[in-house]
Structure 1
Amino acid sequence: MPRRQIRVTGAAAAPLRDALRALRTELGAPEAFPPEVLAEAERAARAPRLPAYDATGVPLFTIDPPGSADLDQAMHLSRRPGGFRVRYAIADVAAFVAPGSALDAEAHRRVTTLYFPDGRIPLHPPVLGEGAASLLPDQVGPAVLWTIDLDAEGRPTATDVRRALVRSRARLDYEGAQRRIDDGTAEEPLALLREIGLLREQREVERGGISLGVPEQEIVENGAAGGGPGSYALSYRAPLPADGWNAQISLLTGMAAAELMLALGTGVLRTLPAAPDGAVGRLRHTAKALRIDWPHHVSYALLIRSLDPEQPRHAAFLQECTTLLRGAGYTVFRDGVLPAITTHAAVAAPYTHCTAPLRRLVDRYAAELCLAASAGTAPPEWALAALDELPRRMAEGTRRAGAVERGCVDLVEAALLERRVGELFDATVVDVRDREPTVGTVQLESPAVVARIEGGGPLPLGERLRVRLTRADRGGPGTAKVLFAPA
């Protein structure tokens, strides 16, 4: 679970953008693709491996943020006797990337797409990730097509997955999709997203699963608004209901994929152990300090669903809730020998990553194992040969993405606050060092900044505190610092 999503707007030469470019260099983030990889991608884009099954008659649509071109998923929703049918097409990266090729080696080096506030560093060359392999509207191409039948309460009753030729009919964004659903102008395949999404959310509550609606932050250069050159303001985009409903379709597919691999006896799961003892209790202290009512008879999962991410106090609490979701990893199993942990604590069920192969390496391998399980055939040797190495590679990619995220958050928060040194803020103490009780972490109520605090007496964990900003320095790459002291 990312600590937060941040976008930055403004001129390309703005100071924060300069600092972000320097951060890329400091972290050794890959930039240009090698010439041989680009040449191979061009050839693959012209001649992918095409499946025999033709599903271009299914009127699929995509829902993504505005401007997205790396479209991993397209869906079609319909009614069937006694329930619903979900068709979910996932980009078939293996149709373009040959095992052992330069493209394959580069994907294993990059592992994931890296996200910076002002752009991204893709896993695959744009000619594939934003072109031939993407599920762009009116483009015929290969996909891994999932068909999942649900009963009237949204529970899966049958799953099929196969390679297919597909063609998306429409590219929607979340706001547009939400507007059509709300005003009644959505056609049934889109209108059903609400009905199926709500049913899946109810099933999530039954399982004890958790979906966090953490707001997206946008930091905007606001010199034109009187803040002066190089000053910034923070705005929020709270997730829409359509975001959550769309995510439920992806979760449904990830759970179906995990069940297929468990039945096959060979696979790679996304696992997360239960939160350690005391973690929820600590969150209760934070909820109290933020004046969030959390009756003892209300479960953590139900409380999360009652919060409004547009309220600063709720947004701050949701951000702190991500601490319970740390520690996820990838678990490989073979030949029917199942691992000790097969579930993801936040999903509250077996789960795997399989719906974002344009942005995540492991998804390509999960797809191959699920295709084999569904067809009753043996997985391809190239997928099995790389399986044991996947957890290590994905862990490396996750660490790199985490370093990018931390560096970006530090830069953005320093840029946001650097002209406010000396000001007072309302905050909550969300962490205290065991051996240094005068050092810890605070989260401001507004803006939702998380930063170090030190000085004074022992910090009151989970309680509100008036704090003074003592430092907000962008510094050099990887050295941005924000520091508070008790007021």
Structure 2
Amino acid sequence: MDTQDGAALDFAGVRAEFDLPTQFPAAALAEAELAVVERDRLVGDREDATDLPLVTIDPPGSKDLDQALYVEARENGFRLHYAIADLGTFVEPGGRLDAEVQKRGQTIYLPDGNVPLHPPVLSEGAASLLPGQVRPSALWTIDLDKEGEPTQIHVRRALVRSIAQFDYDGVQATIDAGTPHPSIAALPALGRLRREHAVRRGAVELQLPEQDVGTDGNGGWTLTLRPRNAVDAWNAEMSLLTGMSAAKLMIDAGVGVLRTLPEPDEGAIEWLRRSARSLGISWPRTDSVAVMLSSLDPRSPESLALYVDATRLLRGAGYTAFDGPLPELTTHAGLGAAYAHVTAPLRRLVDRFGAEICLAVCAGKDVPDWVRAALPELPALMGASDALASKVDKACLDQAEAWVLAGRVGQEFDAVVLRAEANSAEVFITDPPVIAKCAGESLPEGGRIRVRLLDADTVKRKVSFEKVEMQ
């Protein structure tokens, strides 16, 4: 895609529209820099676990590395060592940096750079689990039996050192070749078991295509589909396992903050069954939503349409904090289990507080007063930052779609109907990968149609199509 008027295209308009911060307040930045200088004092005396051969798996070029793992196959099952960046070491409760981090809520990612939750001196430096560097961590050890069920959970503060930084495609290639790194040689076996557990629990996984905005090298942008390989899924299961373990510790202790989602009502399930029938998808009454979705071919247009329809089952997610009696809702229906965010503290505010709760519980200590005092505010803070991140993501994607399609008005494309309405539909175009509105009558969900680009407004960030009537 060419630039307009010779000028590079960026997402400054999105940043301005949502009033995203461009820098950290001087006092907050000074606190972060001082914490780096005083790192050894702040780290204190903790377990030395630098002999564990931990590795990280992240997108290429990532610098804010939250997690490092080592999966052991043992005679009686597995042991997962999962090190999480320890932001509690560097952020002073009630300080200026803490106040700024609570204001931000989470890292906001844009195609031309992120708006970090923490200053890069921490998130990409002293707190990040970069390879070859000794770092403070919240180190989880989770023992599992041969069926992949947890039998023992423990977390403590420790010093760790990642020995290698990998990306998903690279790890997948070594596994496919039969030459995985020893630290993750057991990941496929445990990952598959945990995926089977997820389906049995009723976890709802929607394998919708992920649009990725990337630079074209000439000041413009491209749209591609981000493939999700098996390593993605297995690695995600390790994070989910840790989050579910954290939720168990919190529930048993009677204090915590959970990620929750109510169960969909029977009306929503029946509506999805009708949608499946209209798409020609078999769904035996004895199969759960999770079993049915796991059986679909994600490449099928009918599957794509049903995945979109199934997003209605995942509405209403939030955060539930408690200190004392358990709340009425403690589970996440989309995961089929109780779950807490603890594995991404560099990028998400709530994880630092969740980690402190679990560390205290496992150490047999009282949860710090500053954590308990913050609990009532966390759901609203995280809800607001989640909403903002979602809006920014959509605005960036809409902008990129308009840029990529600018100059192609009048051209025709192949499309799949994802969700039909009275006189329009949401359609998915594969080349370039775009999801947009399309005008037209009698557009069948899951059907393949031909569409014509009517408009690509780069100012309003809108594209529109119409169905091409076949002669």
User: Fold-level match, TM-score > 0.5?
Assistant: yes
**Partner in structure 2 of residue 4 of structure 1:** none
Task: Name the CA distance, whole Å, in 2 between partners of 1:376 and 1:222.
Answer: 53
1:14 Cα deviation (Å)? 7.5
2:435 counterpart of 1:450 = yes
Find the counterpart in structure 2 of residue 360 from structure 1.
Answer: 348
Alpha-carbon distance in 1 for matches of 2:329, 2:208: 27
**1:17 is the counterpart of 2:9:** yes
CA drift of 1:33 comes to 1.2
SS in 2 for 1:184: coil
Are residues 1:407 and 2:395 paired?
yes
Q: Secondary structure at the match of 1:452?
A: strand
Shift of 1:140: 0.9
Which residue of structure 1 lines up, in the alignment, with residue 121 of structure 2?
A: 127
Could you tell me which of 14, 21, 31 is aligned with 1:30? Answer: 21
| 2:28 corresponds to 1:47 | no
Aligned partner (choices 141, 146, 156) of residue 152 of structure 1? 146
SS in structure 1 opposite 2:185?
Answer: helix
Following TM superposition, by how much is the alpha carbon of 1:357 offset from its aligned partner in structure 2, in angstroms?
Answer: 0.2
Match of 1:426 in 2: 415
Name the residue aligned to 1:325. Answer: 314
Change (3 A) 1:127 1:91: same
Give the fraction of aligned pairs with identical amino acids, expressed as a percent: 48
* C-alpha distance in 1 between matches for 2:5 and 2:345: 33
1:59 aligns with 2:43: no
Aligned counterpart, 2:462: 481
Alignment of 1:77-476 (within 5 A): 77-219=71-213, 234-280=223-269, 283=272, 298-307=287-296, 309=298, 318=307, 321-335=310-324, 337-424=325-412, 425-428=414-417, 430-432=419-421, 437-438=422-423, 440-447=424-431, 448-454=433-439, 466-475=450-459
One-letter amino acid matched to 2:9: R
Cα displacement (A) at 1:180: 1.7
Stretch of structure 1 that moved more, 313-322 or 88-97: 313-322
**Shift of residue 453, structure 1, vs aligned partner:** 3.8
User: Matches of 2:280 and 2:227 in 1, distance apart?
Assistant: 20
SS in 1 for 2:367: coil
Residue 46 of structure 1: CA displacement? 2.0
Q: Which amino acid aligns with 1:387?
A: L
Of residues 153-162 and 301-310 in structure 1, the stretch that sits farther from structure 2 once superposed is 301-310
Alignment partners' CA distance in 2, 1:131 and 1:235: 30
Deviations 1:233-276 (A, max 9, x none): 53323111011100000000000000100001011000011235
Q: How far apart, in 2, do the equivalents of 1:45 and 1:342 lie?
A: 37
- Per the TM alignment, residue 393 of structure 1 is displaced from its structure 2 partner at its CA by 0.5
Q: In 1, Cα distance between the equivalents of 2:2 and 2:35?
A: 36
- CA shift, 1:420, in A, is 3.0
Q: Deviations over 1:110-135 (max 9, x none)?
A: 10000112321110001100000001
Q: Please give the alpha-carbon distance, in whole angstroms, between the structure 1 residues aligned to 2:228 and 2:127.
A: 28
Seen in structure 2, the aligned counterparts of structure 1 residues 313 and 474 have a Cα distance that, compared at 3 Å, is farther
- TM-score of the aligned structures, taking structure 2 as reference length: 0.89
Higher mean alpha-carbon deviation, 321-330 vs 357-366, is at 321-330
Indicate the SS of the match to 1:449: strand
Moved more, 423-432 or 384-393: 423-432
- Report the counterpart of residue 65 of structure 2 in structure 1: 71
Q: Report the Cα distance in structure 2 between the residues aligned to 1:168 and 1:12, rounded to whole angstroms.
A: 44
* Distance in 1 (alpha carbons) for counterparts of 2:265 and 2:5: 45
Matched residue SS, 2:9:
helix
Kindly provide the CA deviation profile for residues 153-174 of structure 1, in whole angstroms up to 9, marking residues without a partner as x.
1000000111111111111111
SS in 2 for 1:251: helix
> What is the root-mean-square deviation of aligned Cα atoms in Å?
2.9
> TM-score scaled by structure 1?
0.87
Q: Distance in 1 between matches of 2:79 and 2:139?
A: 13
SS in 2 for 1:103: helix
Aligned residues: 463
- CA distance in structure 1 between the partners assigned to 2:4 and 2:127 by the alignment: 29
Q: 1:429 Cα deviation (Å)?
A: 5.1
Q: 1:220 to 1:114 in 2, by over 3 A?
A: closer
Taking the aligned partners of 1:121 and 1:284, their CA distance within structure 2 comes to 41
